[in-house]
Amino acid sequence: MDENSTLSPAHTDATASSSATTPPVPSVPPALAPFAGLWRGEGEGAYPTIDDFAYTEEIEFAPSGKPFLAYRSRTWEAGTGRPLHSESGYLRLVAEDEAELLVAQPTGFTEIHRGQIREGIIELSMVALSASPDAKPVHSIRRQLSVRGGDLTYDLWMAHDLTPLTHHLHGHLRRD
């Protein structure tokens, strides 16, 4: 390469970069800070219409520099590593102690939940659930997130087809 050529930012080598070109670490709103980070762990699922199951999971709440965290969750079948589920969205601060979780699922659902943040716990209530014409008949979802030290736990309840709102998932993850 001659001295007149330029490299795009994606093609610069590590030795050419300096701390002057490294973007600053985005700040996180204090109420959301306990949730920020990469979490890995296990979960179990149960529902009246399916067999119980176990899974491994990775959840990331990534700082954005704005009053929200980008959210991503991926799960794999315990033992085999077969991909099971993924979803993504945002955990955003809508008031000093109130958060909104926006979730999109590749199964054809979008969810909007809101809840108060109290002592590292967000009890989320569903505001809206939308489904594509081909999605399964899910009628309601409720979520709870809790951070205690280096542990993230969550629970999810779901109403599906003729089954009323029933506990479906519990996950326990540790900060990576």
Q: What ranges make up the beta strands (E) of the chain? A: 37-47, 50-63, 68-77, 83-95, 98-105, 109-118, 121-131, 138-148, 151-160, 163-175
Task: Return the residue matching tokens 């001659």.
Answer: 2
Whether residue 66 is annotated as binding a ligand: the answer is no
111 strand-pairing partners: 103, 129
Distance CA 32, CA 11 (A): 34
Distance CA 131, CA 72 (A): 19
Whether residue 113 is annotated as binding a ligand: the answer is no
Greatest distance between any 2 Cα atoms in the chain: 69
Whether residue 49 is annotated as binding a ligand: the answer is yes
74 strand-pairing partners: 58, 86
Q: Binding site residues for heme b, as ranges?
A: 49, 136, 168
Q: Binding site residues, as ranges?
A: 49, 136, 168
